[in-house]
Amino acid sequence: MGIREVYQQAKELHPEKPLYSVLLGGEVKQRWLKEVDGLNMPFFETTRIAIKALTAARRYALDRKRAAAGSAAAILKPMYRA
């Protein structure tokens, strides 16, 4: 089973879960990127960028949940505290 099949199976088993990857390296990275092309999943070059993306995705999910609950005040409430 290749990397494409592993990721594809994970997406099929848990379509409700986002799948993110951080790929480091030269030739292996390029080969894996070619193999998973078309799976519509994000690959990040650093863990720092991945963490920022996950943080933004979480914030978006919380905002959507609050909006669905009808709490406009909760949506406008800042996410971070000083």
16-59 tens-digit pLDDT: 888 888 988 888 888 888 888 888 888 998 999 999 999 998 99
The C-alpha R_g of the chain, in whole angstroms, comes to 17
**Residue 2, pLDDT above cutoff 60:** yes
Distance in angstroms (rounded) separating the CA atoms of residues 26 and 35 = 14
**What's the structural domain count of the chain?**
2
| DSSP bridge partners of 21 | 43
Write out the residue range of the structural domain in which residue 59 sits: 53-82
**Residue 14, pLDDT above cutoff 90:** yes
Nearest to 17 by CA among 7, 27, 26: 7
Residue 24: per-residue pLDDT: 86
Residues 41 and 57 in one domain: no
Residue 41: per-residue pLDDT: 86
Q: Kindly report the backbone phi and psi dihedral angles of residue 62, in degrees, each rounded to the nearest multiple of 5, phi listed first.
A: -65, -40
Q: What is the reported pTM?
A: 0.63
**Residue 80, pLDDT above cutoff 50:** yes
Residues 40 and 68 in one domain: no
Residues 5 and 32 in one domain: yes
**Residue 73, pLDDT above cutoff 80:** no
